[in-house]
Chains A and B, each alone.
Chain A
Amino acid sequence: MSEKTLPRVPMEPERYELAAAAPYHFDLGRREFFKFLGAGLLVVSVLKPAVIAQESGGARRRGDSLPKEIDAWLHVAESGTVTVYTGKAEMGQNIRTSLSQAVAEELHVPIESIDMVMGDTQLTPFDMGTFGSRTTPTMNLQLRKVAAAAREMMIGLAAAQWQTDRQHLVAADGKVTDPQNKRSVEYAALTKGQQLTQTVTPETPLIPAANWKVAGRSALKVDGRDFVTGRHRYPSDQKLPAMLYGKVLRPPSFGATLLSLETQKAEQMGATAVHDGNFVGVAAASTELAVAAIAAIHAEWKSEPQPSSKELFDYLRKNTVEGKDPTGDGDRYDLGAVDQALSSADHRLQQTYTVSYIAHTPLEPRAALAKWDGDHLTVWTGTQRPFGVRGQLAEAFRIPEEQVRVLMPDTGSGYGGKHTGETAIEAARLARSAKRPVKLVWTREEEFTWAYFRPAGVIDVTSGVRSDGTITAWEFHNYNSGSAGIRTYYEIPNQRIVFHAVNSPLRQGSYRALAATANHFARESHMDEMAHTVKMDSLEFRLKNLKDERLRAVFEAAAKQFGWGKSKAAGQGFGMGGGYEKLGNIATFAEVHVDRQSGDMKVVRVVSAFECGAIVNPDGLRNQIEGSNVQGLGGALFEAIEFDNGKVLNGRMSEYRVPRFSDVPVLETVLLDRKDIPSVGAGECPMIGLAPAIANAIFDATGVRLRSLPLVPNGLKTT
C-alpha cells in the first residue's frame, strides 16, 4: 500500500474478537450542539465516502441539520476555551497529547487552552475503535483539518470586523493580528454572542510538516500532573454514591456449563446474587463482602475435555477451517511458479516456526462501573472501543443503542487486549438486579483467564535461493496466528503465502502488532538461515533482495548506529530483524550475551531505526519505540500461556513472567523524520523486529537456532 492511500476502515482480518459492528452515524441537530456547548464557533469534519459526497452535493448543508457522518469536531467557546471531540481512546499511547499538539499547531492556540473530550459515546462522534495504529494517520489529520478550518474562519471574522483583506492578517497565540495597523483581537471576542458553524473542506490549507512549530517537537503528557499525583481516575477508580461492588462466579474451565446452583448463603450475607443463564454474580457493599459471598455460593459445573498447550502446535495444524475463513482476501497470495522455482533452486530450505499464546497483562485489569436510570444505561469502562462496547451492551440488554452511554476514562493500557465489553456487561447485569450502581474490577487471575490471548501459531517456510544470494522461491503457511504482516517485502519472483484459519482452543484476539510479530519472526529468522546457507552477511543478503527504499533506509541507519560488522567477544552475538507494518518501517539490531556454562542469556543492547513519515512528537515517539522493545522482550524471551483441559495453568503475575527493570537492555533509537511523507502511527510496528533480531543474535553467539517464541522460557542450554 502506498503511503498516500489511507484506508478509512482499518480492520485487520484476524481481529477475531470483534463482531462486525453496524456503522452508526452520530446524529445531532445544530441547535442541540449549541445548547450543549454554548455559543461560539463549531467546526466539524465529515466522513465523506466519494459516492455520498457526490449525492449530497459536498459540504453544503440546508436548514438546521448537521451532516451525519461527522468524525471529529471542535468548538471554540466564547471564553476562548477550545474543546475537541474525538471518539478515540487514550490508554498510554499519549494521543491526548499528540492530538492536542496537532490542534494547537493549526489553530495557533496554546496547547494548555485545549480540552480534549475522548471516547464518550454521548459526546464524541462515532469511532470504530482505537487500534491498528490509526490515530495518527487518520484522526490526527482530521483534527488538523478541523483546527485549520477554525483558524481560517477566525481570520475571516477578523477581516470582516476590520473591513480589511484577510491576506494582511496573522493568526497566533489565540488571536488574529493585523501587523500593519498594530491591532489584534482574541478568538473569544470574534465569536462572542454568535453561533457559527463551519465544515471542513478539501481546500482548507494545512501547515506543511516542515513548518510545524508545536507539532514535530517533544511535548510532555498534557495532563501528566494528574498521573504523578494519583489524581487521575482510571475506570477502576470510578465511584458513584450508593455504589456496590460486583464479583462474578467463574466456571472451573472454559466452556463449562452450569448444572446446579445454591445462592442462599450469599444472600444471607447481604449480597445480591444474580443468576441469568450461565452468568452468576453478586453485588455487595464492599469487595471483601462480594468475595466472601461468591465463596459461599455452591455451584456444580459440567466441563468438556479440551486440548493442552503441550499438544498445541500439532492441534493447530490439524484443526484448520479452510474455506470457512471470514477474512476474505487476506488468505492467500500467489506469484509466479513456486513449485518449479523450489525444485530448480541451488539451495532449498524448509523450516517451521511457532509462537505461543500470550496475555496482554495490562496493568489495570478490566473494570466497569454501571448505572441504570430506568431503561437508560451508563457505563464507565476501560476499552479501546467505546462504541463497540455500547453495541454489545445494547444487544445484551435488548435496548436501543441510544439508551446506552459508554464513557472511557483514560485507561491503564490495553495493547489490543481491551476491545470487548464483557466486564461492562457483567457490571450492568449486576446493577440491574441490585438496582444500584455496581463497579466490577477483574482480578489479575480473571484477566489472565477470561480475557483473550494473542493467537498462537505455526508457520512453515520453504524457500529457494541461488548461490549468489538471490531468493527465487518463497512458500509461507501461517496456521492461526494471523495474516497481519504475512506478505514479504523482499523481491521474490515466485511466492505462495497462505493464512490458515484454525478453530482456536483458546479465546484469541488482537494484540499490539498482532500477527506481524509472528510473521516477522518467521520471515526474518528464515532470512538469516538463508544467508547462512549461502554464506553471506545477513545485512548484505537482505539488501541484495530488498528494493523498498524506506525499509533499506532503516536497515542501513540501524546498522550504522549498531556498528554492524564489528568484532565479537566470546559469548557475544549480533542479529537483526525488521520490516514494514501499519505503514511504518523498522529495523532492530540486537546484541546478546550467552553464558554457555549456566545457560544464562541476556539481551545487552538493542538499536532500533524507525521511520513513520513526519514525526509529530519525537519524545513521545521514542517512548513508544522503547516501550515496544521492552514489552516485546516478554513475548520474545519468556511469555507463554500454559493451559490444560480448559484451565490456564500460569494465570498469576507470580507465575507468568513479564519484563522487569533487570531485563531491560541498553536501548538506542534512531528516528528518521520524513517530513515529505504523511505521519503514521508508531505504537505497534517498532515491536516486530525484536524477536527475530534476538533469535538471530543467539544463533550468532552459539550456533543454536531457536525457532519458537518464547525463545528461552527456561534459559538457554547450549551444551
Chain B
Amino acid sequence: MASIHLTVNGKPYAVDTDPQTSLLSVLREQLDLTGSKYGCGEGQCGACTVLLDGKAQRSCITRVGAVSQRLITTIEGLANGEHLHPVQEAFLEAGAMQCGYCTSGMIMSAVALLQRNPSPGVGEIVNFMDGNVCRCGTYPRIVSAIQKAAKVASAASAAKGAGR
C-alpha cells in the first residue's frame, strides 16, 4: 500500500492503494468515477478508455502507480459544466448508441483521435477506433458522429480564426 497522487479531470486526489492496481479499478472503486467501464480486462474492447495527457489509454491495463505524474481525463471531465463536448453532442445527435456501455470509451477515443487529427477521413477513423468494441453494432453511427464532431470543431476554429 502506498499513497499515490493522481490528477483526474483537473482535480488532485491521493489514494491509498497498491501501485500495481489498475487505474480503472481506482477510478471506479475509490474515486467513484464509474463512467469508465470494464469490458474485457485486457485492453481489447476500449470500454475503459481514458485520456492520459490527451492520448487514449486503456485504463484496465494501466497500473495506477505509473500515472501519478500524468493528467488523466475521464468521460466525467469532458463536458464543461452543462456544456457538452462537441463529440458528446455529436454522439447524441447521431443516435450513436444503443445500450451505451461502450459510449464512454468510444467518446474518449474519438476525442483523442480529433486531437491528433482534427479532420480524419473515414479510413483513419476506422483504423483508430478499431480497438473499441460496440456489441450493439452502432459503428456506422459512431463514424458519422465523429465526422460531425470534426466538422463542428473545424467550423468553430475557423470562426475563432476569423475573429482574431
Contact = CB atoms under 8 A, between A and B. Distances in A.
Interface of A: 91-94, 218, 220-221, 224-225, 227-234, 236-237, 239, 245, 286-288, 361-365, 410-413, 415, 441, 443-445, 619-620, 623-624, 626-631, 652-654, 658-662, 664, 667
A229 B78 contact: yes
A623 B133 contact: no
B140 A413 contact: no
A231 B75 CA distance: 9
Chief secondary structure at chain A's binding surface: loop
Given A220-B92, A229-B75, A286-B29, A653 B101 contact: no
Contacts of A445: 41
A149 B28 CA distance: 45
Given A363-B101, A415-B135, A626-B137, A220 B95 contact: yes
A658 B131 CA distance: 11
26 contacts: A220-B95, A221-B92, A224-B92, A224-B95, A228-B88, A230-B104, A231-B35, A236-B38, A288-B21, A362-B101, A363-B133, A364-B39, A410-B99, A411-B99, A412-B101, A623-B95, A623-B98, A627-B136, A631-B137, A653-B42, A653-B45, A658-B133, A661-B125, A661-B126, A662-B127, A667-B140
B35 A230 contact: yes
A229 B41 contact: no
B92 A228 contact: yes
Contacts of A363: 37, 39, 45, 47, 99, 101-102, 133-135
Contacts of B135: 361-363, 413, 415, 631, 658
B53 interface: no
A234 to B, nearest CB: 6
Chief secondary structure at chain B's binding surface: loop
Given A443-B41, A619-B95, A659 B126 contact: no
Ranked 5 nearest A-B pairs via Cβ = A230-B35, A630-B137, A92-B99, A412-B101, A230-B75
A91 B100 CA distance: 9
B51 to A, nearest CB: 13
Contacts of B101: 92, 234, 362-364, 412-413
A370 to B, nearest CB: 17
B57 interface: no
A469 to B, nearest CB: 36
Contact of B37 (A220, A364, A628, A652): A364
Interface in B110-135: 125-127, 129-135
B156 interface: no
Interface in B59-102: 74-76, 78-79, 84, 88-89, 91-93, 95, 97-102
A654 B97 CA distance: 23
Given A443-B41, A628-B137, A230 B34 contact: yes
A165 B21 CA distance: 71
A444 B34 contact: no
A629 B126 CA distance: 18
Contacts of B126: 661-662
Given A234-B34, A287-B29, A664-B139, 4 more contacts: A227-B100, A286-B25, A363-B39, A664-B137
Contacts of B139: 630, 659-661, 664
B100 A92 contact: yes
Contacts of A415: 135
A288 B29 CA distance: 10
Given A629-B137, A654-B44, A232 B98 contact: no
Contacts of B100: 92, 221, 224, 227, 232, 410, 412
A631 B134 CA distance: 9
B138 A653 contact: no
A444 B99 contact: no
A233 B91 CA distance: 19
A224 B44 contact: no
B29 A230 contact: no
B98 A444 contact: no
Nearest to B74: A230
Contact of A623 (B102, B130, B131, B138): B138
A661 B137 CA distance: 9
B108 to A, nearest CB: 9
Nearest to A225: B92
B5 interface: no
B92 A660 contact: no
A229 B32 CA distance: 14
Nearest to B79: A229
A624 B137 CA distance: 9
A413 B99 contact: yes
Given A92-B100, A230-B34, A627 B137 contact: yes
A228 B129 contact: no
A99 to B, nearest CB: 15
Contacts of B136: 92, 413, 627, 630-631
Contacts of A218: 95
Nearest to A233: B34
B141 interface: yes
B99 A91 contact: yes
Contact of A229 (B17, B35, B127): B35
B125 to A, nearest CB: 8
A230 B36 contact: yes
B143 interface: yes
Nearest to A624: B98
Nearest to A654: B44
Contact of B91 (A228, A620, A626): A228
A416 to B, nearest CB: 12
B76 A229 contact: yes
Contacts of B150: none
A627 B91 contact: no
B130 A661 contact: yes
A412 B88 contact: no
B95 to A, nearest CB: 6
A437 B46 CA distance: 29
B97 A221 contact: yes
A682 B29 CA distance: 37
Given A221-B95, A229-B35, A664 B140 contact: yes
B83 to A, nearest CB: 11
Contacts of B88: 228-229
B6 interface: no
